[in-house]
Amino acid sequence: MSKEHLLIIGPPGSGKGTQAVRVASELGIVHLSTGDILREAVKNGTELGAKAKDYMEKGALVPDELMLGLIGDELDRLGDSGWILDGFPRTMPQAEALDGMLDERRERIDRVILVDLDFEVIVKRITSRRVCPVCGAVYNLETLKPKVDGKCDKCGADLVIRPDDREETVRHRLDVYKEQTEPVIDFYRKKGNLVAVNGEGKIEEITAEIIRALK
């Protein structure tokens, strides 16, 4: 079982969340998703969870300081287990604050995995998604087509495009990533602990490439 502390970064639609779960399983480490940490803290009614809930109910972003506190609590719970953090940091202030927090704990990020993918491939991948509003089944016009155009295989309902999957929304999210997260990638590249893999291809092949790159 690995004791490594990893980060995984990549543009929206790169498949980094899927890879984080798979890499955690391969290495025997814990997958830390900031979304899950947030939901769990709110559900359990912890002090920080209650504060986070106030922001979420107003539709506001949870402040970095609060998010770091939640991550710190989770790391306390894990003890000396290895982990892969998914969903944080997304901005330079977050990256610097995370480094500061880990320094105080006498810990560090061992490696940062960048799952990279051409933006046009991402736009095509995400805008090709279709979902069933009735049973929640997800299809992709490129890779997982329904048997009958526009109809759900499971329940026959008309498939829809989620607002988040529309081209203008996807391009806006990619612009935000370029502006806010690409400097974070340079930050880790300069530290010499960045490992970049191509996010195009079969899921299991990308996982194998990540594991090879970490060795």
DSSP 70-115: HHHHHHHHHTT--EEEES---SHHHHHHHHHHHHHTT----EEEEE
Q: Is 39 a catalytic residue?
A: no
Q: Is 166 a catalytic residue?
A: no
Do residues 82 and 28 touch, judged by C-beta distance below 8 A?
A: yes
Query: If we measure between CA atoms, which residue out of 32, 188, 215, 18 comes closest to residue 108?
Result: 188
Return the structure tokens found at 185.
């990638």
How many whole angstroms separate alpha carbon 158 and alpha carbon 156? Answer: 7
Q: Is 147 a catalytic residue?
A: no
Determine which one of 162, 166, 189, 191 is catalytic: 162
Determine which one of 111, 124, 151, 173 is catalytic: 173
Query: If we measure between CA atoms, which residue out of 40, 39, 7 comes closest to residue 23?
Result: 7
Q: Is 162 a catalytic residue?
A: yes
Q: Is 173 a catalytic residue?
A: yes
Determine which one of 22, 125, 129, 130 is catalytic: 129
- Determine the angle formed by the axes of helices 64-78 and 34-44, rounding to 10 degrees: 90
Query: If we measure between CA atoms, which residue out of 4, 8, 22, 21 comes closest to residue 80?
Result: 4
Determine which one of 39, 51, 53, 90 is catalytic: 90
CA-based torsion, 187, 191, 193, 197: positive or negative: positive
Q: Which residues are catalytic?
A: 16, 90, 129, 162, 173
